[in-house]
Structure 1
Amino acid sequence: MDIIEAIKNRHSVRKFTDKKIDENIKKELLEVIDECNREGDLNIQLCTEEPKAFDSLMAHYGKFSNVKNYIAIVGKKGNEFNERCGYYGEKIVLKATQLGLNTCWVALTFSKVNTMCSIEKGEKLCCVIALGYGENQGVAHKSKSMDQLSKINGDMPEWFKNGMEAAMLAPTAMNQQKFQISLEGNKVSIKSLPAFYSKLDLGIVKLHFEIGAGKDNFMWA
């Protein structure tokens, strides 16, 4: 599937089967993780066959089941840390979707203490992404309207509409969609509204908009 199909097909999944992730798929995931770490100055890590992070009351409260694989989003604090985590984490999510895996962003309902990842001095574990083969493919969530999420004077260019459609499919914490995207000339600005994990969401939404709109069609303000 291409990247637009991945955006449309990706839904959050919390219950996973016992099927192991194939070594070739792991290799492809690690390649994109390495690329994201270089570009985003992050230390994202793939953890496989490791159930401890999701063996807690919090995970059961979050209705997670049989999570044995996850991506730990780790990086140096500061300099738009949460936004970078969202942007590059979602790049990996979309690659995983293309590889036939299911995912779910997890900010709170896992055990940070039991997460098997390396955190260097000055770094922070932002969140994790549950990963594997889902018991189902998840379901689409209701979205706010394009008018609620965008601000534009005059006619809406086709590329902006395409970008908004992709942004509206971006996963956000508790499906809150606390963002607004505006167009002035060919300059696009995006802001997060005060909400739980909205800076992380901003990075995810930004990536979706870029993919949908095409980076050649606009500049970020």
Structure 2
Amino acid sequence: MDIIEAMGARHAVREYTDQPLDENVLKALGDAIGRANADGGLDIQLVHDNEDAFGGCPTHYGRFRNVRYCLALIGRDTDASGEALDERAGYFGERLALEAVRLGLDTGWVVLHETTGHHGRWHMGDGERMPAAIALGHGARAGRPHRSKPIEELGMLADCDATSTSSSQSDALTGAPDWFVNGLKAVQLAPSALGKQPFRFVLLDDARHAVRAEALDGVQAHIGLGIAKLHFELGAGVQVLWE
């Protein structure tokens, strides 16, 4: 399975078996985490072989069972809003989630509360926080595809009216290049809080592959935007210039 296939195969799983992860899988995950931390300036940590990988922290949404492994997505804010860290956690966290799927694992995104009281499952240095985590393991049952917005709601050309609705939305991508449309199709597969997909991609310049990615109003919108930007890049198959 390549990473493009992993996007289609990845579905959220919240209940896991007791089956331990193979040592080779753990090593591959560790290597991938090292690359993600280096590329994203993050401090992502793998919590493994623990009866409660969430360390007793309550989840923001959804009931998880028997999570013995997780990725703690930890880093430092680079601005006061916190949006930059959320976006990086989404982007590099999803890169790791797709790698986990390639390795034969199931995954589930989760936002945890009270992450400073975690029974030592992870460590956070001064100025660090944990926007989200990803449960890992062998699912007790298969995940199901999530609902997705049509691509006409996920993307548009720069000269289109962002407030257009109904019949005019069908024309929002008229004349859009294939790479942009393919990127939006990959974005349809991107997970997001409550499945709302609160983001939009605007084509600015076809020749330069210039795109503006926007977070809309919604729960954990900037985490979702980071996830979606990775999907867009993978689907587009070109070097995207984010503006």
| Divergent runs of 4+, >6 A | none
The range that moved more, 121-130 or 111-120, is 111-120
Q: Which has the larger radius of gyration?
A: 2
Per-residue displacement from partner, 1:145-199 (whole Å, max 9, x unpaired)?
1111111254121111111111110010110111111112221111000211001
- 2:89 is aligned with what amino acid? C
TM superposition shift of 1:209 = 0.2
The correspondence for 1:170, drawn from 190, 193, 199, is 190
Greater RCO (CA < 8 Å, at least 6 residues apart): 1
TM-score by length of 2: 0.85
TM superposition shift of 1:94 = 0.4
Q: Gaps (5+ residues) in structure 1? A: none
CA contact (8 A) 1:52 1:114 kept: no
Aligned residue runs from structure 1 range 73-152, under 5 A:
73-79=73-79, 80-108=84-112, 113-114=117-118, 116-152=121-157
Per-residue displacement from partner, 1:8-52 (whole Å, max 9, x unpaired)?
000000010110000000000010100010111100000101233
Aligned positions, number: 220
2:204 counterpart of 1:184: yes
Indicate the percent of aligned positions where both proteins have the same amino acid: 40
Q: Distance in 2 between matches of 1:60 and 1:124?
A: 16
Q: Distance in 1 between matches of 2:98 and 2:235?
A: 13
The correspondence for 1:208, drawn from 221, 224, 231, is 231
Q: Gaps (5+ residues) in structure 2? A: 160-173
CA contact (8 A) 2:179 2:238 kept: no
User: Which has more helix, going by share of residues?
Assistant: 1
TM superposition shift of 1:57 = 8.7
RMSD across aligned C-alpha pairs, in angstroms?
2.0
